[in-house]
Amino acid sequence: MSENEEKIIKVNELNPNFKYEIQKEAGGENITRCFACGTCSAACPVREVNERYNPRKIIRMALLGMRERVLSSDFIWFCSSCYTCYERCPQDVRITELMNAMKNIAVKEGYIHPSFVAQMEALNSHGRLYEIGEFDNKKRVKLGLPPIEETAEDTKKLFKQEGVDKLID
Amino acid sequence: MKYALFLGCTVPVRALNYEVSARKVAHKLNIEFVDINDFSCCGFPVKSVDRDTFLLMAAKNLSLAEEKGLDICSLCSACTSVLTEANKELKEDEYLRKRINKELSVLGRKYEGRIKVKHFARILYEDVGLDKIRENLRVDLSKFSFAAHYGCHYLKPSEIYEGFDDSENPKTLDELIELTGAKSVPYEDKKRCCGGGILGIDEMTALKVAKTKLDHVKSAGADAVCLICPFCSIMYEGSQKKMEREFEAEYNLPVLYYPQILGLALGIPQDELGFRMNRVKPREIIAQLS
């Protein structure tokens, strides 16, 4: 097996319906408008410092139907949601939301990034990303700020109803 | 002028200097903040996981302010962006609103789409207005220069912000800085993201994104970075020591929240603006003021 085996696109393994699956997800509607100009990758601050994240390449892979490779790879999680590409894309592909659409599909397929499991856990337990404990409230009161009583119940109920709780071990 | 103050997750725990200074400035300018204890996370982190749940979390928060007949003032740019986005969608898409409200009924809540969401800086610029702020200035800050960091979500995605400012050529934060007499210094790559969105995914990549900006600000000779989002501050101030170690650089660059700067110009005593909580101490600025 050659060294390039991993990189070779095998046409018989492509899923031509992947792009339509993405189009059905909120935010992914415009994926087929992409004509691969690369404005997104040129504008991307993450791409500039880390070559693993390349929005043009990810969109191309998705359009080709490389479903498993796209969904299982951690690179879709590298979008920092800065919306620079979103603003500049000449085809209004709405790339930031497209990345979110692909992440949403990846989650349904069991590929949630571990850092998001941790965030969902925190939200489920505290209703916020950071716990507000007695220590924090003492500090707040000392500064003349109102204390905050944690209310996680609402978030817990919503997570349960929507099935987000199942993502937490 | 009265708003429900939306603190989000980061501000009330990790950006107390921002919260303290924003409240002081608001008080000075006759903006009344109402605290709603049941506000929870805006939904931003959930957008990557499940869009409906994100909309539900946003709708719940929006409904709490609506119930009190108040518009929302947010200090965090990410909260501002996702609450504004959800608000726009829920207002414009009746079918979506009905569907989300049906699911929201598990909390006994409903959102009718009657309120607005605005970032504190936008409220200062648009609702209070530069002239009104100028009338209240007491201390001239003309010996200082600050590097305005807009961050991403204060103005983007632009389609949700009704034409407020220009995301490719922003000016509101520069104008807010310059009304204090201070100079807003130009620097390379001013609109660059702080990298905070991927801090939890790949710390090194996030730090590299942040580092570029500190390099540019440093070479522009600014006395401090001026920003309006708690997560940008976590990157530029909270992670500054780490970046100095990792990249063998020396920054020692103070990072201030805009209300801390405006607070000084409004004559609010320094010790009431939370400077002691800044990790990189703005010693030279404080020394030059006293």
A60-88 pLDDT per residue, tens:
999 999 999 999 999 999 999 999 999 99
Beta strands in chain B (DSSP E): 2-6, 32-35, 71-74, 117-119, 145-149, 183-184, 224-227, 255-257
CB atoms within 10 A of CB A108: 15
CB atoms within 10 A of CB A78: 24
Whether the predicted pLDDT of B41 surpasses 90: yes
DSSP track, B128-139: IIHHHHHHT--S
> Do strands B224-227 and B183-184 pair parallel, antiparallel, or not at all (unpaired)?
unpaired
Whether residue A3 lies inside any domain: the answer is no
Instruction: State residue A169's pLDDT score.
Output: 75
Whether residue A5 lies inside any domain: the answer is no
Give yes or no: residues A93 and A140 share one domain. Answer: no
Q: What is the pLDDT of residues B230-254, one digit of tens each?
A: 999 999 999 999 999 999 999 999 9
Whether the predicted pLDDT of B27 surpasses 70: yes
The whole-angstrom separation of Cα B187 and Cα B216 is 6
Give yes or no: residues A41 and A103 share one domain. Answer: yes
Q: What is the pLDDT of residues B152-211, one digit of tens each?
A: 999 999 999 999 999 999 999 999 999 999 999 999 999 999 999 999 999 999 999 999
Chain B residues lying within 8 Å of A118, measured CB to CB: 200
- What is the SS3 assignment for B216? helix
Helices (H), B105-202: 120-122, 130-135, 172-178
Q: What are the backbone angles phi and psi of residue B67, rounded to the nearest 5°? A: -60, -30
Give yes or no: residues A144 and A96 share one domain. Answer: no
Whether residue A159 lies inside any domain: the answer is yes
Give yes or no: residues A119 and A104 share one domain. Answer: no
Residue at a domain's end among A108, A125, A147 = A108
Instruction: State residue A2's pLDDT score.
Output: 66
Residue at a domain's end among A63, A84, A108 = A108
Selected residue of B7, B48, B105, B213 to mutate for chain A interface (largest A Cβ count, 10 A): B48
Give yes or no: residues A61 and A86 share one domain. Answer: yes
Whether the predicted pLDDT of B290 surpasses 90: no
Instruction: State residue A1's pLDDT score.
Output: 55
Give yes or no: residues A104 and A136 share one domain. Answer: no
Chain A residues lying within 8 Å of B203, measured CB to CB: none
Give yes or no: residues A95 and A151 share one domain. Answer: no
Selected residue of A48, A79, A80, A167 to mutate for chain B interface (largest B Cβ count, 10 A): A80
Contact A162 B50 (CB under 8 A): yes
Average pLDDT over residues B37-46: 98
Beta-carbon contacts of A54 under 8 Å, excluding residues fewer than 6 positions away, are: A41, A44, A47, A75
Contact A77 B152 (CB under 8 A): no
Whether the predicted pLDDT of A6 surpasses 80: no
Instruction: Indicate the number of domains in chain A.
Output: 2
All domains in chain B, ordered by first residue = 2-119 (1.20.1050.140), 136-289 (3.40.50.11810)
Chain B residues lying within 8 Å of A125, measured CB to CB: none
Q: Which residue of A has its CA nearest to B38?
A: A151
Q: Which residue of B has its CA nearest to A85?
A: B157
Pick from B52, B107, B201: which is nearest to A162 by CB? B52
In the numeric block, which tokens belong to residue B160? 């949700």
Q: What is the pLDDT of residues A107-127, one digit of tens each?
A: 999 999 999 999 999 999 999
Counting DSSP H helices and E strands in chain A, the numbers are 10, 0
Q: What is the pLDDT of residues B260-284, one digit of tens each?
A: 999 999 999 999 999 999 999 999 9
pTM: 0.97
Place of tokens 């009431």: B272
The whole-angstrom separation of Cα A98 and Cα A92 is 11
Average pLDDT over residues A50-54: 94
Quote the domain boundaries for residue A146. Answer: 114-167
Average pLDDT along chain B: 97
Chain B residues lying within 8 Å of A146, measured CB to CB: 35
Give yes or no: residues A159 and A124 share one domain. Answer: yes
Chain center to CA of B259: 10
Give yes or no: residues A15 and A89 share one domain. Answer: yes
Q: What are the backbone angles phi and psi of residue B172, rounded to the nearest 5°? A: -60, -45
Give yes or no: residues A33 and A94 share one domain. Answer: yes
Instruction: State residue A8's pLDDT score.
Output: 87
Cβ pair B8, B41 in contact under 8 A: yes
Give yes or no: residues A96 and A120 share one domain. Answer: no
Q: Which amino acid is at A93?
A: V
In the numeric block, which tokens belong to residue B275? 């400077």
Give yes or no: residues A20 and A62 share one domain. Answer: yes
- Rg of chain A, C-alpha, whole Å: 20
Contact B201 A78 (CB under 8 A): yes
Pick from A86, A130, A140: which is nearest to B9 by CB? A130
Contact A80 B209 (CB under 8 A): yes
Chain A residues lying within 8 Å of B198, measured CB to CB: 46, 77-80
Q: What is the pLDDT of residues B138-151, one digit of tens each?
A: 999 999 999 999 99
Whether residue A104 lies inside any domain: the answer is yes
Whether the predicted pLDDT of A166 surpasses 60: yes
Average pLDDT over residues B82-90: 98
Contact A157 B9 (CB under 8 A): no
Pick the more confident residue, A160 or A1: A160
Cβ pair B232, B10 in contact under 8 A: no
Residue at a domain's end among A79, A108, A137 = A108
Whether residue A28 lies inside any domain: the answer is yes
Instruction: State residue B111's pLDDT score.
Output: 98
DSSP label at A146?
P
In the numeric block, which tokens belong to residue B252? 């020692």
Q: Give the CATH number of the domain where residue A51 resides.
A: 1.10.1060.10
